[in-house]
Amino acid sequence: LIGGSIPEEDAGKLYNTCSVFGPDGSLLVKHRKIHLFDIDVPGKITFQESKTLSPGDSFSTFDTPYCKVGLGICYDMRFAELAQIYAQRGCQLLVYPGAFNLTTGPAHWELLQRARAVDNQVYVATASPARDDKASYVAWGHSTVVDP
* Residue-wise pLDDT tens digits, 82-108: 999 999 999 999 999 999 989 899 999
Q: What pLDDT, on a 0 to 100 scale, did the predictor assign at position 47? A: 86
* Ordered domains of the chain (ranges, CATH): 6-146 (3.60.110.10)
What number of other Cβ atoms are within 10 A of residue 68's Cβ?
Answer: 16
Name residue 77's amino acid: M
Q: What pLDDT, on a 0 to 100 scale, did the predictor assign at position 48? A: 94
Distance CA 8, CA 53 (A): 9
Q: How many CA atoms lie within 13 A of 55 on its CB side?
A: 12
In Å, the largest CA–CA distance within the chain is 48
Distances from the Cα of 139 to the Cαs of 67, 84, 102, 110, in angstroms?
Answer: 29, 27, 6, 14
Distance CA 38, CA 27 (A): 30
Distance CA 89, CA 105 (A): 29
How many Å separate Cα 54 from the centre of its chain? 15
DSSP state of 2: B
User: Which positions of the chain have pLDDT values less than 50?
Assistant: none
Q: What pLDDT, on a 0 to 100 scale, did the predictor assign at position 123? A: 99
**Radius of gyration of the chain measured on its C-alpha atoms:** 15
Q: Are 103 and 44 in contact (CB under 8 A)?
A: yes
